[in-house]
Amino acid sequence: MYKCSLERMTDKIKTFSKYGDAGHGGITRYSLSPEAIMARKEFEKRMKAIGAIIEVDDVANMYATLPGSDPTAKRIVMGSHCDSVKNGGNYDGILGVMSAMEVLETVYAEKIPHKHPLTAMIWTNEEGSLYPPAMMCSGIVCYDYLPEDIRGKFKYEDMLASKSILDSSKTFGMALDASGYKGDKKYRLSRDKYLYMFETHIEQGPILEDNNKEIGVVDCVLGMFNYRIKFYGQTTHAGTFPMPKRKDAFFAASKALCYLHEEIDKLGYPELVYTTGEVVCHPDVHTCVPDFFEFSFDSRHEKPEVLDKVLKIVKSLEDKNWCGCTCKVEKAWNRDTVYWDKKLVSYVKEAAEEAGVSHQYIHSGAGHDAQFCAYVIPTTMIFVQSKDGLSHCEPEYSKPEHCTDGATVMLNAVLKADKEST
């Protein structure tokens, strides 16, 4: 039973929080931005200091590897991403990188024997905040193994051509060329060289905190679907058009949203979540009745049959008249539930038990690079308690003690995996 260092972990949290500090306790650290480059250099410096070999693949995914006792053994890799959303926090993504670093630093400091090379890694552009889509570079690397409908989103050329949301004259490919971190395709994570993947991440929800558990033993990433729900009305002048003749697309959407909540809540699945986070209003002028309103609809649950019931309700919107407006429901994308490797999940659970870290099984509602990786090699995840369940915002917080215990659990799970094939 080895333990990671609270002191070292706390120092890493403090250090990485500087790179992109947005002045209110959080960070804005877009992928390949100057701030993200600083974080990469810090990673490189600390990993080189313990003798790790640094490799960078052609989409800037970084791999720092401590050799094991068997030069022919495949690598066990841990990691996550170091980019953030706009005004994000100091834990989402980077905690998985820091935990992987902490595992390697502990292995080095304690001279822990291991057969397999151990790799700490940074995935490029997980958030997709500046260059969509999210999980871009795990999508590229795992491309050949992904289900066809997911894969379509991650064509290499399309990814290089992805435009900056701040400046459409800039592409991800240009940022990659300018970053100094465009390496060689031969270093990509692959079945040939890599055995297992572990990703530690903050929970991003309140379940562990509510249940007073430090660590989540993650068993799957929830299946989900994403639709766009569109309402078509007629724009007219705010002052001149009698109410009964109006076809107000925003009012139509509001009524439909209330209807969705009522009907879906009647299904009675406490673990079901659904979110309408993005809207479009046209012409979006205070003196005009909106002729178009659109909102996104994202729903997640482990069981496909539950998602099917939700989708049926969503699709039924098309059959109704919404204040004179018509409704179109369009699929954006969906994914099935991705179950983590059962053996690796059991290693995590055993490691938590042996380390005396309070824990429980949990699903991941959010998507992570690990879920694409799972199509390539056996993969699992570890969650660390999030204060108030908040993430993607500046108040995002996890206690350094919990972060350290998360690294300890990952370390010991990795060592179980390392021994297994001895």
Contact call for residue 307 and a copy of itself (CB under 8 A): no
CB of 243 to a copy of itself, least distance (A): 6
Answer yes or no whether residue 296 interacts with a copy of itself by CB under 8 A.
yes
Q: What angle do CA 87, 92, 94 make, to 5 degrees?
A: 105
Instruction: Using alpha carbons, select from 27, 46, 32, 78 the residue that is nearest to residue 351.
Output: 78
Question: Please, what is the minimum distance in Å from the beta carbon of residue 366 to a copy of itself?
Answer: 4
CB count in 10 Å sphere of residue 334: 17
**Nearer to a copy of itself among residue 188 and residue 335 (C-beta):** 335
What is the per-residue burial (b if ≥16 Cβ within 10 Å, else e) of 159-191?
bbebebeeeeebbbbbbbeebebbbeeebbbbe
Candidate residues 121, 130, 218, 224; the one interacting with a copy of itself per rule CB under 8 A:
224
- Determine, following the binding rule CB under 8 A, whether residue 215 of this chain makes contact with a copy of itself: no
Contact (CB, 8 A) for 288 and 235: yes
Place of tokens 């009524």: 255
329 near a copy of itself, rule: CB under 8 A: no
On whether the CB atoms of residues 346 and 199 are closer than 8 A, the answer is no
Q: Count of residues binding a copy of itself (CB under 8 A)?
A: 66
Q: Is 366 in the site for a copy of itself (CB under 8 A)?
A: yes
3-state secondary structure of 145: helix
Considering only residues 7-26, where is the footprint of a copy of itself by CB under 8 A? none
**Nearest CB to a copy of itself, comparing residues 67 and 206:** 206
> Shortest approach of a copy of itself to residue 381 CB, angstroms?
13
Residue 364 as a binder of a copy of itself (CB under 8 A): the answer is yes
Using CA atoms, how far apart are residues 52 and 67, in angstroms rounded to an integer? 8
Please identify, using beta-carbon distances, which residue of 38 and 313 lies nearer to a copy of itself: 313
**Rounded distance between C-alpha atoms, residue 103 and residue 93, angstroms:** 16
User: In the structure encoding, which two tokens stand for residue 272, read together?
Assistant: 């079901």
d(CA 308, CA 182): 42
Rg (Cα) of the chain, in Å, rounded?
23
Site string for a copy of itself, 131-170 (x = CB under 8 A): ---x------------------------------------
> Tell me, what amino acid is at 5?
S
For a copy of itself, the closer CB: 284 or 308:
284
Is 267 near a copy of itself (CB under 8 A)?
A: no
Q: Does 375 bind a copy of itself (CB under 8 A)?
A: no
C-beta of 275 vs 346, nearer to a copy of itself: 275
State the first-to-last Cα distance of the chain, in angstroms, to the nearest integer.
18
236 contacts a copy of itself (rule: CB under 8 A): yes
**Structure-block tokens of residue 381:** 């995840």
Residue 139 in contact with residue 152, Cβ under 8 Å?
no
Nearer CB in complex with a copy of itself: 122/253: 253
Among 42, 57, 102, 203, binds a copy of itself (CB under 8 A): 203
Report residue 233 as tokens.
């009305």
Q: Which of 18, 155, 186, 261 lies at the binding interface for a copy of itself (CB under 8 A)?
A: 261
Q: Which residues contact 323 (CB under 8 A, 6 or more apart)?
A: 233, 246, 247, 248, 251, 252, 255
For a copy of itself, give the closer residue by CB, 181 or 340: 340
Tokens standing for 16? Answer: 């990485």
Closest CB to a copy of itself among residues 234, 326: 234
Minimal distance, residue 181 CB to a copy of itself, in Å = 26
Per-residue contact flags (x/-) with a copy of itself for residues 74 to 93, judged by CB under 8 A: -----------xx-------
Reduced to 3 states (helix: H, G, I; strand: E, B; else coil), residue 289 is: coil
Out of 43, 225, 274, 397, the residue judged to bind a copy of itself by CB under 8 A? 274
Q: Is 365 in the site for a copy of itself (CB under 8 A)?
A: yes
Note whether 339 binds a copy of itself by CB under 8 A: no
CB nearer to a copy of itself: pick between 67 and 389: 389
**Partners of residue 76 on adjacent β-strands:** 118, 196
CA distance 75 to 307: 37
CA distance 73 to 195: 9
Residue 276 within binding range of a copy of itself, rule CB under 8 A: yes
Q: By the criterion CB under 8 A, which residues form the site for a copy of itself? A: 85-86, 134, 203-207, 222, 224, 226, 234-243, 245, 248, 250-251, 253-255, 257-258, 261, 265, 270-279, 281, 283-291, 295-296, 298, 300, 332, 364-367, 389-393
